[in-house]
Amino acid sequence: MTGESIPDPFAGHPDWALDPPRPIVPTPATMVGQLRGKRAIVGLPGLGWRSDLRTDEKVVQGSRTYIPVMSEGEWYRAEAEQTEVFAPLVPVERVWIEELGVTGASTPSNDLTSRLVSLDEPPRRTPVAALDADALTGRRVIRLLDDGGEQRDLRAVTELHTNSEGDICARVSEELEWYRWGWSGRTPKTLEVAVHLLWVE
């Protein structure tokens, strides 16, 4: 040891040439066309929100419009096994659909004031680089592709670690595989993703 400081190759992420992934922008379901299989958030302004849900198409009963909403795990199971699942009908005005916004330059801040949100609608969610996230396992993640595209509907199955070649990475699985692991016990197929290509959704 010479006492010299070793530069952090990830400091400020200067070597990351790819743009960060797009943020999630909750949009009122009344403004969205096709709803089958969309990620949803339900709740009441001023009260709170619940996510990790999926929707089916709108249902009209009398003069009211409802949206069938189910847990994401149930939706995946119904799709994979072609079975019917119970989906409570939620009034359309209490449902927001997760849509992708435009990539911005903003980064998450630990400053309390900048983290405050309005309770009038679900908050926008800006992706966080895996290197900056406090934990990964079980969380929704995004894999950046070499062509600038994004692969979503993934879950992290490990934390960051060093692989046999000395690269920092994490393993991820497709969400269907992640949920199937829960209902069937079948270990998911996973993919190793380099840390600079991985973001927490």
Residues 165-181: pLDDT tens digits?
999 999 999 999 999 99
pLDDT band at residue 12 under the 50/70/90 scheme: low
Q: What is the pLDDT of residue 197?
A: 97
More confident residue, 149 or 107: 149
C-alpha span between 128 and 130 (Å, rounded): 6
**Average pLDDT of span 112-140:** 91
CATH tag for 127-200 (out of 3.30.2170, 2.30.30, 3.30.70, 3.40.50): 2.30.30
C-alpha span between 73 and 182 (Å, rounded): 9
| Model confidence at 6: pLDDT above 50 | no
Write the CA distances from 16 to 11, 144, 160, 165, integer angstroms. 10, 11, 17, 20
Q: What is the pLDDT of residue 141?
A: 98
C-alpha span between 61 and 80 (Å, rounded): 29
User: Which of 103, 40, 91 lies closest to 67 in space, CA to CA?
Assistant: 91
Q: Give me the chain's average pLDDT, please.
A: 89
The owner of tokens 């630990």 is 110
| Model confidence at 190: pLDDT above 50 | yes
Residues 135-149: pLDDT tens digits?
999 999 999 998 889
* H/E stretch holding 70: strand 64-71
Write the CA distances from 102 to 3, 120, 154, 189, integer angstroms. 44, 21, 20, 31
> What does the domain layout of the chain look like in residue ranges?
24-100, 127-200
Nearest 5°: the CA angle 19, 72, 128 is: 25
pLDDT band at residue 104 under the 50/70/90 scheme: low
| Model confidence at 121: pLDDT above 70 | yes
Residue 81: strand, helix, or coil: helix
Write the CA distances from 96 to 68, 160, 191, integer angstroms. 13, 32, 31
More confident residue, 11 or 113: 113
Residues 28-67: pLDDT tens digits?
999 999 999 999 999 999 999 999 999 999 999 999 999 9
Side chain identity at 157, as an amino acid letter? Answer: V
pLDDT band at residue 107 under the 50/70/90 scheme: low
- Ramachandran sector of residue 3 (left: φ over 0; alpha: ψ -120 to 50; beta: rest): left
Q: What percent of the chain has pLDDT over 70?
A: 88
